[in-house]
């Protein structure tokens, strides 16, 4: 199951990168974030059925959009957000702090939410939607960088 998701994710990262080059990094990220705001409720509902085909579907969609669709765009977009003088620090701090919130403490938060709700999955869906809404708003407020000149000295 994870292998199927990972194989689809390889294609998704490449396609998201191509789409970001063609239509703009911000636009592609916004589209992916919108999908990820809408997906937690039906995705977790499908997981709770125990149906193997639905579980495969959710894992593949999760890998394609959440895991690698966003990464395919971020690889170009994040460095382009910062001038050359602060590029490494800006990308490193942004990615690492977000990984702590999105990946580091999320399992603990989700386990606590499930325990609080008596085994129900809906609080986890609300948490996921909240995190993706923050990402969507941040992306909406960020500039498009597709044609940015990365060697301009005034931008350093």
Under the phi-then-psi rule, with left for phi > 0, alpha for psi from -120 to 50, and beta for the rest, what region is 144? Answer: beta
Which candidate, 115, 36, 104, places its Cα nearest to that of 71?
36
Least confident stretch, 41-50, 96-105, 129-138: 96-105
Give the distance, in angstroms, between the CA of residue 70 and the centroid of all CA atoms in the same chain. Answer: 4
- Residues sharing a CB contact under 8 Å with residue 7, sequence separation 6 or more, in sequence order: none
Decide: helix, strand or coil at residue 43. helix
**Residues 29 and 73 sit within 8 Å (Cβ to Cβ):** yes
| Whether the predicted pLDDT of 156 surpasses 70 | no
| Vertex 46 angle, CA 74 and 73, to 5° | 10
Rounded-to-integer distance, Cα 29 and Cα 155, Å: 23
pLDDT, average across residues 21-49: 94
Domain residues of the chain, as ranges? 2-146
Decide: helix, strand or coil at residue 1. coil
Whole-number pLDDT of residue 82: 85
Whole-number pLDDT of residue 155: 62
């Amino acid at each position: 199951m994870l292998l199927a998701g990972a194989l689809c994710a390889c294609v998704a990262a490449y396609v998201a990168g191509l789409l970001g080059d063609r239509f703009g990094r911000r636009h592609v990220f916004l589209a992916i974030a919108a999908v990820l705001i809408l997906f937690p409720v039906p995705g977790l509902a499908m997981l709770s059925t125990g149906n193997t085909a639905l579980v495969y579907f959710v894992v593949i969609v999760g890998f394609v959009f959440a895991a690698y669709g966003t990464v395919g765009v971020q690889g170009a977009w994040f460095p382009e957000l910062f001038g050359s003088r602060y590029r490494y620090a800006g990308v490193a701090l942004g990615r690492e702090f977000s990984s702590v919130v999105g990946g580091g403490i999320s399992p603990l938060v989700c386990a606590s939410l499930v325990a609080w709700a008596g085994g129900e999955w809906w609080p986890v869906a609300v948490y996921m939607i909240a995190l993706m809404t923050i990402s969507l708003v941040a992306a909406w407020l960020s500039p498009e960088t597709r044609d940015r000149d990365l060697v301009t000295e005034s931008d350093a």
